A and B are shown apart, each in its own frame.
Chain A
């Protein structure tokens, strides 16, 4: 079982609230990712990080922001939640180098914005 953790697992929150989704991994992986997954749709990469103090936006535009101050921690923040942010958010990590395709996923956070 992958050692990557996400909290909370489920979150229901009102419009306009600020939220932070937590993601931690204990595998020492340099690369970390945030994906968005909607029912019946593909996983889409919204943020990734090569390492500490390195973050980039993914292919899917997102109003969220991320930070990477420690190798093991990659939180995602929404400053003002909206119903359009309702989705499942998956965090993942991988080693550096050619095995970047082998990504270890957390269990996900299911976010509902009312």
Chain B
């Protein structure tokens, strides 16, 4: 079946540090890959996506590249801010099967200290 594995948190960084949150997936076929973010007290929201191999998704300074050879979709940001403190979820969707259901990783909590 499909699965997503993320690094365990919490990840604690100082402001302006470089961020990497690892995400690997297991899926047959051609999944689309996503990063969703959940800020404190708010609902999940899409951060970025990539729909085919070698695509790079980017938003708000965050980037992730769809690497089919390593089945990875690591999230990176060059300089984090306190406002980036949130829980980040990696997810995949098997569009090619016709199903519209996201499979999520367990989430990684990021804490950015001033």
Chain B binds chain A: no
B residues apposed to A, CB below 8 Å: none
Task: List residues of A whose CB falls within 8 A of some B CB.
Answer: none
